[in-house]
Chain A
């Protein structure tokens, strides 16, 4: 977090937004004990870069950081970080929302929820 803040900080920025995606403790009233993230690394990095590039075309972004962790994460831990620095706050909010929404739709990363009574790959089935 500190290094991301240092990276996006610039005197030209009037706004810096941080979005943290964190591990929630429940899904449909079932207790989530931990999440396991898996990624198709090569494609995930390429897709994340494409999303960031598209955001830079749409908004006046001075600097950005996008990080997605993988492996085992416990309740409350940060899974995703999106930091955006822009001259004015509207662009930072809009770009941040675009980046996280598009990442969730298109980047090949998968999470498995571990409950006290079983495991489920999230959204895999209708």
Chain B
């Protein structure tokens, strides 16, 4: 079983991926760590970043956190506001 999730990209990750959003197939139940590993395998430049976090529904998530089909997922490269 797999399910599709939509992932948003910002800043340098948007440029690495070449898109603001992607739809990915994740094994069910998907976890944040699996999503990160799958993206890093497809886009090796992601591994060169100082940090790379995942936000689930607007909150920073841990690798073991689950991903549900309707979650709002975003990749968060090192922030640099201010």
Write the residues of chain A forming the contact surface with B, with a CB cutoff of 8 angstroms.
Answer: 21, 37-40, 42-44, 46, 68, 79-80, 100, 103-112, 121-126
Contacts and interface: CB of A to CB of B under 8 A. Distances in A.
Nearest to A119: B15
DSSP majority for the A interface? mixed
Q: Chain B CB within 10 Å — which of A79, A103, A123 has the most? A: A123
B18 interface: no
7 contacts: A38-B10, A68-B81, A80-B81, A107-B79, A109-B81, A110-B79, A124-B78
B50 A39 contact: no
Interface string B12-43: 10110000000000000000000000000000
A108 B82 contact: no
A106 B59 CA distance: 11
Nearest to A37: B81
Given A40-B55, A43-B55, A108 B79 contact: yes
Interface residues of B, number: 22
B12 A104 contact: no
Q: Chain B CB within 10 Å — which of A44, A105, A122 has the most? A: A122
Interface of B: 8, 10-12, 14-15, 48-50, 55, 58-60, 72, 74, 76-82
Contacts of A104: 79-82
A109 B55 CA distance: 13
B73 to A, nearest CB: 11
A121 B79 contact: no
Given A40-B10, A43-B74, A110-B10, A122 B58 contact: no
